[in-house]
Amino acid sequence: MVTLKDVAKKAGVAVSTASYALNNNPKISETTRNMVLTAANELDYRPNGTARNLKKQKTETIGLFLNDLAGPYYSEIIRGVQKVVSDNEYDLVVCSASGGTDSTAYKFLQERRVDGAVILAPKITDKEIYQVARTQLPVVVLDRKLESDYIKYVLIDNVNGSYQAVTHLINRGYKNIGFLSGPEESYDNKERYEGFSRALNDNNFLFDENLLFKGDFTEEEGYKVISKFLKNDISIDALFAANDEMAIGAIQAIKENNYQIPNDIAVVGFDDIRLSSYINPPLTTVRHPKYEMGTFATHMIFQILQGAATESIVLPTQLINRESS
Amino acid sequence: MVTLKDVAKKAGVAVSTASYALNNNPKISETTRNMVLTAANELDYRPNGTARNLKKQKTETIGLFLNDLAGPYYSEIIRGVQKVVSDNEYDLVVCSASGGTDSTAYKFLQERRVDGAVILAPKITDKEIYQVARTQLPVVVLDRKLESDYIKYVLIDNVNGSYQAVTHLINRGYKNIGFLSGPEESYDNKERYEGFSRALNDNNFLFDENLLFKGDFTEEEGYKVISKFLKNDISIDALFAANDEMAIGAIQAIKENNYQIPNDIAVVGFDDIRLSSYINPPLTTVRHPKYEMGTFATHMIFQILQGAATESIVLPTQLINRESS
DNA sequence: TTGAAAGCGCTAACAG
DNA sequence: CTGTTAGCGCTTTCAA
């Protein structure tokens, strides 16, 4: 491995001079700089990032931590984060939090391999986040309501979003509205259920516990749960799913049982993922500003990094009316 | 920041002892180890990954470099890479290559912030890859045919895949088959065009240059190009798109012009992305083993890392018959 | 079984 | 403008 020392030797200067020259420090003369540059070129010198990071005590990279790297849901958020990170001339690495305590996410957070973290990974515990933040690492969470000096959140108005969705169903005359739930621990799921309940309450509907379907945010589970239900029973005329993936699974199940959407059963989802507008029938759903979640969150990281004040925020949602309801 | 030195001082031992203790080195006595562990706990000590990496001259992380982090196309590949990386108890970071020479990708590669690289990012030049490989960093490319001691490739049989797709169209009686092309520089696109041409040739069709439509692998462009074409002309009865995204855009355009798919115009794509089976009509396309691309590529990285022999490979494709043809 | 010390590759005072 | 040098936090050889 060719190091700065080698370059310096070849150029006949001190390492410090070589370092300055390569970093375009103005105190190095044009001639010296050229000598160094030439030497570096000839040796095909590559600075060692690890060494630089250690010395400078920063990495100039922001980490984005996701439960599952492959989730299509994240696309827009990633795009938003990416944008702001590059605007600040930092680097972005995306890491997975799958694998629990010895996941890449934990390592990168604990070992300070990033200067800031955007977290959308329920697998990372609140405790861990608090601990990391105590080492003065700026963190913005997108999947829970957590706050401290170094922790801010960017959330969407889940409650209001589902409140609107359910109110919409009620206004259209649907009477027996089921709730297709995500994992019970999920913050988003809880909030969406909350909005659902409130809408029912405010309209003097009472909720039949039998119409609470337990899913896990996946299409498969949505399909399975609703298929099973429709085998015996068809006491619902509408279904509100806590996310689009499950809604899509449910639609599949409903169609296979030869019910019409939305005539027999209406379906509304949450998230407005790309697929939702392509399926048949196109899915009514609650849209939220994913890209902006990414940009806001990352902005906040840099604010904290610069010691400026920042406020956590909750972003609005919007009901997108399509043909499934 | 609390360092190993602090822990050692608190525990009343030397740094080396503290280091051994924390790394479970058996030559440290139970009692000493406990003292160190307690001290570390009380101080909430976090080892510094950067320092360790520098010392050990390795990072135990593999980098996956993509043109665009947000592309839904990559999901399965990422999953495959992830799997093998964790099986080897390494970490995975995904980086973007957008932004050219000063992208995160370039930095991470050049500065050895990863121990190996899986590349699916046409924006990274061949030259760069060769240079990086000369520093003995194992690289596996998924988007071009490059090879050397430290470079291997995992590709799919693009030529054969599109040959089959086009032959299928011909067998079904379609006569005027258009080609909706991706960017001309794209390796995949070139190969897919090659397969297209061969299939025409082998069936004694001659290709009308007017039926070559230039897209860029995006849905929007596929939509635009085909919309424009259909305004004046309808001299095609089938369209082979170099990827599914463009095929989906084309389908949109065809439907908007009130042509029937596949009766008036058949459409075949390439990739078998998730959306393809959901759209209307479901898209006939060429499937390739994305997950396996990821696992094979990553396996190869570890092979090289261990000094074992590896061979580049080309994976087979499969025609998926749906209702668009 | 433990400790002292060298050094990974780099940056940045400081001195000249 | 350039060189000397300390040291970032850690691992590991060598000596005790």
Share of chain A above pLDDT 70, in %: 99
The predicted pLDDT at position A185 comes to 93
What are the tens digits of pLDDT across the range A93-127? 999 888 777 788 998 999 989 999 999 999 999 99
What are the tens digits of pLDDT across the range A238-251? 999 999 999 999 99
Six token digits for residue B321? 């018959």
Residue partners of A287: CB distance under 8 A and separation at least 6: A271, A272, A317, A318, A319, A320
Give A72's pLDDT tier (boundaries 50, 70, 90).
low
Question: Each residue of A220-239: b (16+ CB within 10 Å) or e?
Answer: ebbbbbbbebbeeeeebbbb
The predicted pLDDT at position B72 comes to 66
Candidates B31, B207, B78; CA nearest to A68 is: B78
A227-231, A303-307, B67-71: range with lowest mean pLDDT: B67-71
- The bridge status of strand A151-156 relative to strand A139-141 is parallel
Closest CB to A69: pick one of B53, B82, B248: B82
Return contacts of B45-48, CB within 8 angstroms, 24+ apart. B45/B2, B45/B3, B45/B4, B45/B6, B45/B7, B46/A110, B46/A111, B46/A112, B46/A135, B46/B2, B47/A110, B47/A111, B47/B4, B47/B22, B48/A54, B48/A111, B48/A112, B48/B1, B48/B3
Six token digits for residue B291? 């997950």
Closest CB to B51: pick one of A52, A54, A93: A54
Six token digits for residue A213? 């379907």
Quote the DSSP letter at residue A282. P
What are the tens digits of pLDDT across the range A183-211? 999 999 999 999 999 999 999 999 999 99
Domains of chain A in sequence order: 4-49 (1.10.260.40), 61-156+289-317 (3.40.50.2300), 158-287 (3.40.50.2300)
| Strand D nucleotides, any atom under 7 Å to a protein CB | 1-5, 7-13
Six token digits for residue B242? 């170099």
Tell me which chain A residues have a C-beta less than 8 angstroms from the C-beta of B47.
110-111
Q: Please answer whether residues B154 and B297 qualify as being in contact, where contact means their C-beta atoms are separated by less than 8 angstroms.
A: yes
Chain A nearest-CA distance from B18, in A, is 17
Question: Each residue of B21-40: b (16+ CB within 10 Å) or e?
Answer: bbeeeeebeeebbebbbebb
Q: Please answer whether residues B257 and B229 qualify as being in contact, where contact means their C-beta atoms are separated by less than 8 angstroms.
A: no
Interface A–B counts its CB contacts (< 8 A) at: 134
Measure the CA angle with vertex B226, ends B225 and B228; round to 5°: 70
Tens-digit pLDDT profile for chain B (325 aa)? 899 999 999 999 999 999 999 999 998 999 999 999 999 999 999 999 999 999 999 999 999 999 877 766 778 899 899 999 999 989 999 998 887 777 889 989 999 899 999 999 999 999 999 999 988 999 999 999 999 999 999 999 999 999 999 999 999 999 999 999 999 999 999 999 999 999 999 999 999 999 999 999 999 999 999 999 999 877 899 999 999 999 999 999 999 999 999 999 999 999 999 999 999 999 999 999 999 999 999 999 999 999 999 999 999 999 999 999 9
Candidates B183, B176, B172, B173; CA nearest to B233 is: B176
What are the tens digits of pLDDT across the range A252-282? 999 999 999 999 999 999 999 999 999 999 9
Taking the C-alpha atoms of residue B49 and residue A156, their distance in angstroms, rounded to an integer, is: 34
Tell me which chain B residues have a C-beta less than 8 angstroms from the C-beta of A277.
none
Tell me which chain A residues have a C-beta less than 8 angstroms from the C-beta of B86.
98-99
| Average model confidence (pLDDT) across chain A | 94
Distance (Å) from CA A96 to C1' C1? 40
The predicted pLDDT at position A292 comes to 96
Closest CB to A131: pick one of B44, B107, B112: B44
What are the tens digits of pLDDT across the range A25-60? 998 999 999 999 999 999 999 999 999 999 999 999
The pTM assigned to this predicted structure is 0.92
Residue partners of B235: CB distance under 8 A and separation at least 6: B176, B208, B210, B211
